[in-house]
Structures are given as C-alpha cells and as structure tokens.
Amino acid sequence: MQTALVHDYLNQYGGAERVLEALHDIYPHAPVYTSILDPVAMPLHMQSWDIRTSWMQHLPAWRRYFRHYFMLYPRAFESFDMRPYNLIISSSSAYGKGIIPPPGATHICYCHTPMRFAWQTDAYVARERIGGIRRRVMQPMLAALRAWDVASSVRVTHFIANSKVVAERINTHYGRSATIIPPPVDLAPFQPRLAGEYYLTGGRLVPYKRIDLAIQACTALNLPLVVFGDGRDKTELMAMAGPTVRFVGRVSEQERLDLYAGCRAFLFPGEEDFGITPLEAMAAGRPVIAYRGGGALDTVID
C-alpha cells in the first residue's frame, strides 16, 4: 500500500506537528506533502523526512506574508499529484484535507478543527485586529473559502476529530460524523516535588492562545507568572506584562517538565481544539485553571 501524509504547513511547531510526528512514526517512509516549509522553525530530526512542498515555497517573502496568501492554499494542495497513493492521511486545520485523492483511494483526515478564520470569522478578526478596508475585502474572500471548505470535505473518506467539540464542528459545517481520537501525548516521568509560588502558562505565543488574559490577570493581582514559549505576539505580551511576569522563551523538554513540576498551577486561558499542555501539567501533579470551552471540556475535570 502506497501511503502519503499531508500537513497544512511546516513553518511552526506545535500540537498539530506532534500529531504529524506520530503519524510519521507509523509510516516512516511516507512522503509528507505540505504547502510551505521553514526548516529553521522545525525540529532537526525532520530534516531526514521526505518533505515535498508546493509552488507556494517560491512565493516572494512567504515567511512574512504566508497568512496574506490564504486564498492560494486551496490551489496549492489541489495541484499535488496524488495518483501513486491508495492511502492518504491528512493532518489539517485548514487546507490539507483539500488534496484530490485518486479514484479508489482512502483519504483519512485527522481534523484539528475546521478552519477557524473562515468559520469563526468575527472572533478571528477581533483577535488579529483587522479592520477598515482589509476587513471589508476579506468578507467575500472568506465566503468563497467557506464554500471551498465544504466542497472539499467530500474528498475525505473518514474524519477523525481530536475532541468532542471538534467532532461537533465537523458535523455542523460538513454534515459528517467523525471518530474521536485524542492526539498522542508523550508524557515523560515526572519527579514529585513541592509546588512553588509561581503560576505557569505558555506554548506558541499567538493570538488565539489568549496568553494575554493570563498576563493581565496576574499583573492586576500582583501574582508571579512564568511564560514559556515563543511566537509573533511575544513583543506585545512583554509590553503589557507587569513586574511579576517573567518570560523564559523557548525551553528544552527537561526545562519545560521542571517548570510544570515547580508551578503552583497551570493557566490555560484560550479555547483550544484539544490542548496538550494541560495534560502535561496534570501529569506533573499540578492543577489546571482553564477556560471552560473547547478541548479542555474533555480533559480538565472539575
């Protein structure tokens, strides 16, 4: 059986990329089709993978403007020649599920969520602070993208969702059922220790993670907060942080485990599709204070 893996883009490393790693562990010889690849942003071990990028890899300044090219991604994935494969597994929260499988092939989509910016437009526009002419221009484009998203969903043989809320979104937007399989979480052994005084939050520092809420709360209450991770919001988040907030940047696996083990509680303020960091914190024996929504409803039990 000839198998191919498909992923939206490989220019940042997070939970979706961990799922791709798990799929690649199962199918180590399968090529990975993706729109764009930034090797600097990805783990070194991925350099040995057979990664095949689209023509978008050659667009000018794509590292800076890859979000602006959002109307081009559907064509990029439809341009891949998938005829050699009879099993295609896509890991997608946007465009990857839109590849065109050959007749008779099985296409399994591990759906992290139907694309947020197309279906949750108001929240996305507010978080990204998009206004004026850009917002008006985007509206018809997003309507066209939603139409493509629904039309391309029929190319999927089976949907897998990472949480109940994502399965509900798949049913709402595509009229399809989904099997719920939580993403793999590699939990290293934690050494029990006494809780420290600081609160902890972190991950990719991007708008939908709502790290700003944790920073604002701890600053207002004069509580110590440690923030790990990196991302495009880091400068803005540092500007709003008070003296009790400390940023430690990207951390190693062991450093992250030590931060979990030593914190008083882990703060999880965003509505995520699943959310791996709360599981890591709870595995270290630390309580999680989470927003009551999204994947946390499956994993953080009150």
Q: What is the pLDDT of residues 269-283, one digit of tens each?
A: 987 777 788 888 888
Tens digit of each residue's pLDDT (9 = 90 or more) over 92-109 = 999 999 999 999 999 999
pTM of the predicted model, to two decimals?
0.80
Q: Which segments of the chain belong to CATH 3.40.50.2000? A: 199-299
Q: What is the pLDDT of residue 186?
A: 72
* CATH number for the segment(s) 199-299: 3.40.50.2000
Q: Are strands 225-228 and 245-249 parallel, antiparallel or unpaired?
A: parallel
| b (16+ CB within 10 A) / e for 127-159 | beeeeeeeeeebeeebeebbebbeebbebbeeb
User: Which has the minimum average pLDDT: 26-30, 39-43, 158-162, 223-227?
Assistant: 39-43
CA distance 217 to 51: 42
Q: Give pLDDT, residue 127.
A: 56
For residue 137, which amino acid is it? V
CATH architecture, domain 3-180? 3-Layer(aba) Sandwich (3.40)
| Structure confidence by residue, pLDDT tens digits, 119-155 | 876 666 555 555 566 667 777 888 899 999 999 999 9
> Quick check: helix, strand or coil at residue 121?
helix
